[in-house]
Amino acid sequence: MSFRDYLNSLKSSSLLVEINEEVSLEGEVTEHLQAHDGKAVIFNNIIESQFPLVGNLLSSREQLKFILNGDKKFHDSFRDSLLNPLNPEVCNQSLTFENAFSSNLLSLPIPKFFEQEGGRYLTSGIIFSNFPGTDNPNLSIHRMMIIDNQRGAIRLVPRDLHNIFNYNCEKGEDTPIAIVVGYHPALALAASSPLIKGETELNIANSLLRGSLEVVRTPKYGIKVPTDVEFVLEGKILADQFIVEGPYVDITGTLDEMRKQPIVEIEQIYHRNNPIFQTILAAHNEHYILMGFPREVKIYSKVASVIPEVHDVYLTPEGSGWLSAIISISTEKKDGAKLAAKAAFEAHPSLKWCTIVDEDIDVWNREEVEWARITRAGEGDIEIINKVRGSSLDPSKNLDDKTSIRVIIDATKKKDRDQGGYEKVM
C-alpha cells in the first residue's frame, strides 16, 4: 500500500476530511486538526503555499488497522515485523525526483501551530542519515524550526542521529541527510521504534508493508530513501553552526525548554507531480501513537517475559501517550502486578505511572480503569518510588537533578486476601 493508496483507504472508510476553504498556516491548520482529531485532514487551499497539506494521518487505532494485520492483536502484529525485517529492493528511478528546485522552505506549507511557538515547525520530516562507514540509513523523526528559505534548527535528542552527528563533528565534517515528507505511516512507525543495534528502520518498514517497499538513492549524497514519497529535502546538518531552538509545544502540551541546537542547511527540494505535503500536530493523538505505540510493544514483550498472560498495554492520552500505562494481566502470583509494573518501567524508562488491572477491565475504557483503581487498590497497593530517572518530557521533574517519581497502582483483584467485593456484578 502506497501513501496515495493509504489516503484512498481512509477516504473510503470515512476517516479523511477534506477542507476546501482557504486556511492559513498561522493557527488555522491547528484548529482544524484539533476539531477532527482521529481523522486525517487534507487542506486543499493553503493561503501561504501552492501545495496541499495533510495531517492526522495516524491519529486513531482505526487508522492503525490499515497498517497492521487486522487478524492479530496490534502489538503481536507489530512485534512480528520487528522480529522479521525485510531488505527493500534498490531501484534506479522514483517519481519523487520528477521536480527539483533550489531550497525554498518558506514556500512549503509548514505551519506555526501555536502562538507561543518560536516559528513555523516542520514536524513530520523523517531524517535519513547513513551510519558511519555503512550504506545503511538511520531513520528518525525530528522537529525543525524554520529559520529562513534554506535553514532550520533541528532538535537532536541523544539517540542514533545525535551520535552520527557527533561522530562527523569530531572529524570536522557536516552530516549529509535526506528529509522525507509525505509517506505511508508504516515508515513513521518504523522510524519511531527502538531497534537492535545494526538494524535499519527501512527493513522494519518493508516488513510492515509486506515487502512492497522500494528504495532509491538521493541525487547528491546517495542516501537510500523510499521511492514512493511526496517530497525529499536533501541537505546537511552543519557541524559548526548552532542556534537557540524554540519555544515549542511538545507532547505534554507544555512548552519545551529552549536549547542551542544544530542548523540544517537544505540544498535541494524534490517532489513528485501534484505532491501533498504532510504535518504532525504535537500533543494530540498522532503524536501519542507514533511516540507511544512502539513503546507499548516493547512493554508488552518485557512484561510477558515475567507474566505469561498479558492481555493488553495502553499508553494513555491522559499521560500524553508516554508517561502513564494501563496493563491488563492474569496471574496467580501474589506480587504479579508489581512484577509486571517493574518490567514495564525497565522496558520504558520514561514511564511515570503504571496501573495494573485484571483481564475483566478494558484498558481503553477510562471509566472501567478508574473504577478498578478506586475499588481494587487498597492498603499497600500503591507504591511511590522517588528520585528515579525521569523523562525529559515530564514538566514536573526535579530541575536540579532531572529526577522524577514512579507510581505503581495494583488495581487487580487480590486472591490472597480474605475478603470479597472485587467482582463486578453490573
Report which secondary-structure segment, H or E, holds 20.
none
Choosing from 160, 228, 250, 358, the catalytic residue is: 250
Q: Which residue segments constitute the domains of the chain, with CATH numbers given?
A: 73-272 (2.30.110.10), 305-411 (3.40.1670.10)
Question: Is 250 noted as a catalytic residue in this protein?
Answer: yes
Q: Is the pTM of this model over 0.85?
A: yes
Provide the residue-wise pLDDT of the chain in tens; the chain has 426 residues: 789 999 999 999 999 999 999 999 999 999 999 999 999 999 999 999 999 999 999 999 999 988 986 655 789 889 999 999 999 999 999 999 999 998 899 999 999 999 999 999 999 999 999 999 999 999 999 999 999 999 999 999 999 999 999 999 999 999 999 999 999 999 999 999 988 776 899 999 999 999 999 999 999 999 999 999 999 999 999 999 999 999 999 999 999 999 999 999 999 999 999 999 999 999 999 999 999 999 999 999 999 999 989 999 999 999 999 999 999 999 888 899 999 999 999 999 999 999 999 999 999 999 999 999 999 999 999 999 999 988 888 899 988 888 999 999 999 998 766 556 567 766
Single out the residue of 313, 293, 316 nearest to residue 366, CA to CA: 316
Distance CA(285)–CA(57), nearest Å, equals 10
Q: How far is CA 52 from CA 18, 30, 55, 380, in A?
A: 10, 15, 10, 55
Single out the residue of 383, 382, 384, 378 nearest to residue 417, CA to CA: 378
- Contact status, residue 213 vs residue 226, Cβ threshold 8 Å: yes
- Contact status, residue 3 vs residue 26, Cβ threshold 8 Å: no
The long-range contacts involving 35-40, CB below 8 angstroms and separated by at least 24 positions, are 37/284, 37/285, 38/62, 38/285, 39/10, 39/14, 39/15, 40/7, 40/10, 40/15, 40/16
Measured in degrees and rounded to the nearest 5, phi and psi for residue 262 equal -65, 160
Cis geometry, peptide bond prior to residue 262 (ω within 30 degrees of 0): no
Cβ-count burial of 20 within 10 angstroms (0-12 exposed, 13-18 middle, 19+ buried)? exposed
